[in-house]
A and B are shown apart, each in its own frame.
Chain A
Amino acid sequence: MAKKGWKRPKMTGKRFKNQLLSVIGNPFNMIVFFTLILLFITIIIPLLSMVQNTFVVAKSELRNIPGAKVGDYTLWYWKYLLASPLTKTILWVPLRNSLIIGAFVTVFSVPLGALMAWLMVRTDIPAKGLLSALILIPYMIPSWCKALSWMTIFRNPSMGGNGVLSSLGIPVPDALASGFIPIILVMTLHYYAFSYIMASGALRSINSELEEMGEIQGASKAQILKSITLPLILPSILSATIMTISKSIGTYGVAARLGGNNPDGTPFYVLATRMKDFINNSPKGVGYAMSILMILLAAGTIIVNQRLIGTRKSYATIGGKGTRSNLIPLRGAKWPMTIVIVLFLVAAMVMPVFFLVMESFQIVPGGGYGLDNLTLYAWIGELQNAPNPAFNQSGLFRNSEFGRALLNTVKLSLIASLITAVFGQFFGYITTRGRGKWYGNAVEQLIFIPYLMPGVAFSAIYFAMFSQPRLGGLIPSLYGTFLLILIVSIVKHFPFASRSGSSNMMQISVELEEAATINGAGFWRRIGSIVIPLAKNGFLSGFLLSFISIAKELDLIAILMTPKNYTLSFLAFDYSKEAMPQVADAICIVIIVFILVTNQIADRFGGNVSKSM
């Protein structure tokens, strides 16, 4: 269209001065500049540093690599992982286990979530208001809490004690106590949320006129479902599938609790647990190499997803008019379908919480619920009065470790979510105002990186970077400090915070800011008087949701934990390994109550748990 392209005028001193002044004098440019630097330092450098660590000899391997000096270049770690006699046990078996778990979790949870979404959105299922208020609560219960709860029921002597069933004299086979089945079922009861949230979003956006048109053309209900509804929500189902695979492969806490032993007595490993063992013990380089593989695996699936969906996604969200849908009558299937959902809620919400609560009152876990086996010890008991000689801890509220962990949790969640939420708003501001510009895209891409990484692999990166002094001692070793855990929690939550920030900023039209510019408001004035007041509620809900997410986090911080910094999640996880699961159960309950209450508050400010995926 252009008759002639624009030719850049000759650079004169005056032109250069004016351009420089306008770039430097604009605080927005400075913010973009520092954001890019920040993201580079917190994401790119640690990632590169971990890659580098897999190629450099560390002190602990000196005896394994004859003639090598610390810092030498080596392929030993990768060879150890990929081409050694141990490869099968340390890589292929855990990888196979992870893939099996991922596949089954997906096969179970995606149809479950999609079915429930369809029932809740498109049909006249009874008690819809109540059910839809409850249906995402199981997702808010941390997955490792559900794992603990599974153990309260299915624990058997080979897992170190009795659960409800074995105490009633019902023998529990090892396959139900630990290994694939419990891991897959517990994860299914957690990750159904992805397909539920995505499918219900897609279903809600489908104009019912599309289905009615099919009806006018003479299609039956089943044909409509098959040829119109399903294809329209397929992209989001596919997305949910990929996310479920990626998440379930990367999950650490559930597998660590329920892995148990293989039939031959060796520990049952998945990638995440195997990797953590390498990093906490040795050789660390192998652990780093494994976490690179995990990142590639997770990133690969998500990128495949974007490729597949990218172009088709657009039609899954047909908005506009006529979104008022006519509900499909379930007729005879009404009550059976309601029962399916109620059963799900019982299995995923009622039972886990009930048995956690009950076990927290028991003297001997799995010792039945007779009065003689009930106590408040796990909550308020003192060690010298312990009713069970196996107890080695005071009850929760008399336990200094609990107090410290509670304090740590509140401190970590509060500071980290506050910082993430503030950064998130800035990132959102940059990405929405810079949409289509190079810096907007750059920030968007960089922020997406932590999303591609399983939490346990992400913290491995930071462990690699900061477990030794850096920059010639300028940055001391941060391992064991609260600061390191804080940084990891902040950076890992960047993608989510920035998403909530940009959806928030999208609602503030650029013209509102331009009107202020014309009236003489500078950048900071605009931010202070226009953007912040309008972004307040979105900011608050974003803050509360990251607060919840950080408070229940286990996978992310497991590698970096030292006793001084234990959070509630990690404390519960740690206690559950001991002979006294009651205190761990009690902590779980505290966390669940805490999450539900915070979520209620977030809800007030328009927050929604579905945004925190």
Chain B
Amino acid sequence: MSKIVLSHIDKFYGENHVLRDINLTIEDGDFMTLLGPSGCGKTTTLRVVSGLEKPQHGTMTIDDKPIIDADAAFYEAPSKRGLNLVFQSYALWPHMTVFQNVAFGLKIKKMKKAEIEETVMRALKTMRIEEYRDRYPNELSGGQQQRVAIARAIASSPKLLLLDEPLSNLDARLRIDMRAELKRLHKETGTTIIYVTHDQVEALTMSTKIALFKEGEISQIDTPLGLYTNPIDLQAADFIGNPRINFIDAKGVYNGDTLSVTSEFGTYVFAHETLKLDEEIPEGEEFECVLGLRPEMVDIYTEDPHHKNTVAAKVYANQPAGSETLITLTVGSVEFLAIQVGLVEYDMNQEVFVVLHPGRMNVYNKKTGRLIKFAKTKHKAGVDD
């Protein structure tokens, strides 16, 4: 059992306010990813949780046990928090063998020798590096070092495992392997994990929950699917997803019940229950808004499919990339990107028909930049939305 609650955490470096009122609850067994561009405070948050940094304000509990109470200057020692950390640089001790690295923390706990041997070997086996037990870190490849670092962190069976951009020093292929490895590790051990990354693919593929950071604040906490389909503001929408989401300028009118949005694509009317009513939506007047359209939500036909949401479009450019093809399209003055699976050939300036699904689009208030209409998170094939 380990439920971590951070509330009202503030951290300053001198004048610099690096963490602003961080509130975060991590449930037992979560794989919580802290996602954001560099310098947004995600690593600092991780270090606050680990005990390597002391915030000036706020509290933290693990299973309701106070860990941080900044007002009382109380900070539990890192080693008493029942957690372990994998550093971005791995921080393997170069003068110790793999075995000694992993055994270090266990020795400090005064574990018996035979037990240490057994625990270390179990951790090494889990990470599939038992044959390297007597090597020194500099005799290992980057990927192997990474596994040692993780083995060292899990050897003490922490209730909470912290990972600070652990894959950023690996090459692309190893990264995919290690993603699978970490996901299995999470399933097998059931350990709560906090994972820091700036790579949205890592966040989306591995996490059960994602906390999106922006300039020292958390802007959104959601499941990967929730974050992907309904980013809370324009910046989040822009950050999540590759290729990027299309933004289409539009005019909206809200009559207190439905929201109708007019753009080059025509006019869509969104039902009351799809609106995010805690946000600012001007009532009874026309206001500027932005449609968010994911490239994979665009269906392209060469002949008119006679669908109610069909628009005529023109191919501006075509980028086949093997497993997928990126197509830049124009409708009137609007230019947007679509993606199709596999190799598809279009000619430049070819006339095509695109089917758009308004139900799967997001709407943002341009003035506040905030989401005002949810996209559907689930849609069945063949159903019009």
Task: Choose one: A18, A511, A519; the contact of B105 (CB below 8 Å).
Answer: A519
CB distance from A451 to the nearest CB of B (A): 29
Report how far A12 CA is from B72 CA in the complex, Å: 7
Q: How many residues on chain B are close to A (CB under 8 Å)?
A: 35
CB distance from B92 to the nearest CB of A (A): 8
The verdict on A515 contacting chain B, using a C-beta distance below 8 Å, is yes
Q: Is the CB of B104 within 8 A of A521?
A: yes
In the complex, 18 of the A-B residue pairs with CB atoms within 8 angstroms, ordered by the A residue number, are: A6-B10, A9-B70, A18-B75, A19-B73, A512-B91, A514-B85, A514-B91, A515-B93, A515-B152, A516-B93, A518-B78, A518-B83, A520-B79, A520-B109, A521-B105, A529-B104, A530-B93, A534-B95
Q: Which of B68-85 contact A (CB under 8 A)?
A: 70-75, 78-79, 83-85
The verdict on B50 contacting chain A, using a C-beta distance below 8 Å, is yes
Q: Which B residue sits closest to A534, measured CB to CB?
A: B95
B12-20, B239-247, B317-325 - the one binding chain A = B12-20
Inside 8 A of A525's CB, which chain B residues have their CB? 108
Inside 8 A of A509's CB, which chain B residues have their CB? 89, 91
Q: Which of B1-30 contact A (CB under 8 A)?
A: 10, 12, 15-17, 20
Report how far A608 CA is from B373 CA in the complex, Å: 68
The verdict on B87 contacting chain A, using a C-beta distance below 8 Å, is yes
The verdict on B156 contacting chain A, using a C-beta distance below 8 Å, is yes
Q: Is the CB of A2 within 8 A of B74?
A: no
Q: Is the CB of A15 within 8 A of B73?
A: yes
- For the complex of A and B, the 10 pairs showing the least CB-CB separation, nearest first, are A519-B105, A520-B79, A2-B17, A511-B91, A18-B73, A515-B91, A520-B108, A19-B73, A9-B71, A533-B95
- Provide the B88-100 mask, 1 if CB < 8 A to any CB of A, else 0: 0101111100000
Q: Is the CB of A518 within 8 A of B79?
A: yes
Q: Is the CB of B72 within 8 A of A6?
A: no
Report how far A19 CA is from B70 CA in the complex, Å: 10
Task: Choose one: B15, B17, B71; the contact of A15 (CB below 8 Å).
Answer: B71
CB distance from A515 to the nearest CB of B (A): 4
Report how far A19 CA is from B51 CA in the complex, Å: 15
Q: Which of A14-49 contact B (CB under 8 A)?
A: 14-16, 18-19, 22
CB distance from B17 to the nearest CB of A (A): 4
Inside 8 A of B105's CB, which chain A residues have their CB? 518-521
The verdict on B57 contacting chain A, using a C-beta distance below 8 Å, is yes
Question: A519 and B79 in contact (CB under 8 A), knowing A22-B73, A509-B89?
Answer: yes
The verdict on B52 contacting chain A, using a C-beta distance below 8 Å, is yes
Inside 8 A of B93's CB, which chain A residues have their CB? 512, 515-516, 530, 534
The verdict on A220 contacting chain B, using a C-beta distance below 8 Å, is no
The verdict on A517 contacting chain B, using a C-beta distance below 8 Å, is yes
Report how far A591 CA is from B56 CA in the complex, Å: 58
CB distance from B287 to the nearest CB of A (A): 28
Report how far A463 CA is from B52 CA in the complex, Å: 47
Inside 8 A of A133's CB, which chain B residues have their CB? none
CB distance from B19 to the nearest CB of A (A): 11
Question: A14 and B72 in contact (CB under 8 A), knowing A2-B12, A2-B17, A519-B156?
Answer: yes
Task: Choose one: B15, B71, B89; the contact of A5 (CB below 8 Å).
Answer: B15
Report how far A12 CA is from B71 CA in the complex, Å: 9
Report how far A512 CA is from B71 CA in the complex, Å: 30
CB distance from B144 to the nearest CB of A (A): 17
Q: How many residues on chain A are close to B (CB under 8 Å)?
A: 29
Report how far A12 CA is from B73 CA in the complex, Å: 10
The verdict on A307 contacting chain B, using a C-beta distance below 8 Å, is no
Report how far A105 CA is from B10 CA in the complex, Å: 59
Q: Is the CB of B91 within 8 A of A2?
A: no
Inside 8 A of A514's CB, which chain B residues have their CB? 52, 85, 87, 91
Q: Which A residue sits closest to B216, measured CB to CB?
A: A1
Report how far A580 CA is from B79 CA in the complex, Å: 69
CB distance from A521 to the nearest CB of B (A): 6
Number of A-B contacts (CB under 8 A): 88
Q: Which A residue sits closest to B15, measured CB to CB?
A: A2
The verdict on A3 contacting chain B, using a C-beta distance below 8 Å, is yes
Q: Is the CB of B85 within 8 A of A515?
A: yes
Task: Choose one: B16, B57, B72, B75; the contact of A1 (CB below 8 Å).
Answer: B16
Inside 8 A of B78's CB, which chain A residues have their CB? 517-518
Question: A518 and B72 in contact (CB under 8 A), knowing A2-B12, A512-B91?
Answer: no
Report how far A520 CA is from B91 CA in the complex, Å: 15
Report how far A167 CA is from B87 CA in the complex, Å: 74
Inside 8 A of B94's CB, which chain A residues have their CB? 534
Q: Is the CB of B84 within 8 A of A22?
A: no
Inside 8 A of A3's CB, which chain B residues have their CB? 17, 20
Q: Is the CB of B57 within 8 A of A6?
A: yes
Task: Choose one: B12, B15, B57, B104; the contact of A516 (CB below 8 Å).
Answer: B104
Q: Which A residue sits closest to B81, measured CB to CB?
A: A518
CB distance from A305 to the nearest CB of B (A): 30
Inside 8 A of B84's CB, which chain A residues have their CB? 518-519
Q: Which A residue sits closest to B102, measured CB to CB?
A: A519
Report how far A270 CA is from B152 CA in the complex, Å: 64
Report how far A462 CA is from B87 CA in the complex, Å: 49
Q: Which B residue sits closest to A21, measured CB to CB?
A: B73
Report how far A22 CA is from B94 CA in the complex, Å: 30
Q: Which of A242-277 contact B (CB under 8 A)?
A: none
Inside 8 A of A530's CB, which chain B residues have their CB? 93
Inside 8 A of B79's CB, which chain A residues have their CB? 517-521
Report how far A16 CA is from B16 CA in the complex, Å: 25
Report how far A19 CA is from B71 CA in the complex, Å: 11
CB distance from A261 to the nearest CB of B (A): 60
Inside 8 A of A511's CB, which chain B residues have their CB? 87, 89, 91
CB distance from B12 to the nearest CB of A (A): 5
Inside 8 A of A533's CB, which chain B residues have their CB? 95
- Provide the A504-543 mask, 1 if CB < 8 A to any CB of B, else 0: 0000010110111111110001000110011000000000
Q: Is the CB of B104 within 8 A of A519?
A: yes
* Most chain A beta carbons < 10 A, residue from B15, B20, B56, B91: B91
Inside 8 A of A12's CB, which chain B residues have their CB? 71-72
Report how far A512 CA is from B10 CA in the complex, Å: 26
Inside 8 A of A1's CB, which chain B residues have their CB? 15-17
- Provide the A129-165 mask, 1 if CB < 8 A to any CB of B, else 0: 0000000000000000000000000000000000000
Q: Which B residue sits closest to A1, measured CB to CB?
A: B17
Q: Which A residue sits closest to B54, measured CB to CB?
A: A22
Q: Given contacts A6-B57, A515-B93, A521-B104, could you give 15 more A-B pairs where the C-beta distance is less than 8 Å?
A: A9-B71, A12-B71, A15-B73, A18-B74, A509-B91, A514-B87, A515-B85, A515-B92, A516-B104, A518-B51, A518-B52, A518-B83, A518-B105, A520-B109, A530-B93
* Most chain A beta carbons < 10 A, residue from B12, B95, B152: B95
Q: Which B residue sits closest to A530, measured CB to CB?
A: B93
Inside 8 A of B95's CB, which chain A residues have their CB? 533-534
CB distance from B157 to the nearest CB of A (A): 13
Question: A6 and B85 in contact (CB under 8 A), knowing A517-B79, A519-B105?
Answer: no
Report how far A533 CA is from B104 CA in the complex, Å: 14
CB distance from A194 to the nearest CB of B (A): 34
CB distance from B52 to the nearest CB of A (A): 5
CB distance from B41 to the nearest CB of A (A): 12
Report how far A1 CA is from B20 CA in the complex, Å: 11
Inside 8 A of B85's CB, which chain A residues have their CB? 514-515, 518
CB distance from B215 to the nearest CB of A (A): 8
Q: Is the CB of B16 within 8 A of A521?
A: no
Q: Which A residue sits closest to B94, measured CB to CB?
A: A534
Question: A515 and B87 in contact (CB under 8 A), knowing A1-B16, A5-B15?
Answer: yes
Report how far A521 CA is from B56 CA in the complex, Å: 24
Inside 8 A of A517's CB, which chain B residues have their CB? 51-52, 78-79
Inside 8 A of A15's CB, which chain B residues have their CB? 71-73
Inside 8 A of B89's CB, which chain A residues have their CB? 509, 511
Q: Is the CB of A521 within 8 A of B108?
A: yes
Inside 8 A of A521's CB, which chain B residues have their CB? 79, 104-105, 108
CB distance from A360 to the nearest CB of B (A): 47
CB distance from B308 to the nearest CB of A (A): 48
Q: Which B residue sits closest to A517, measured CB to CB?
A: B78
Q: Which A residue sits closest to B95, measured CB to CB?
A: A533
Q: Which A residue sits closest to B215, measured CB to CB?
A: A1
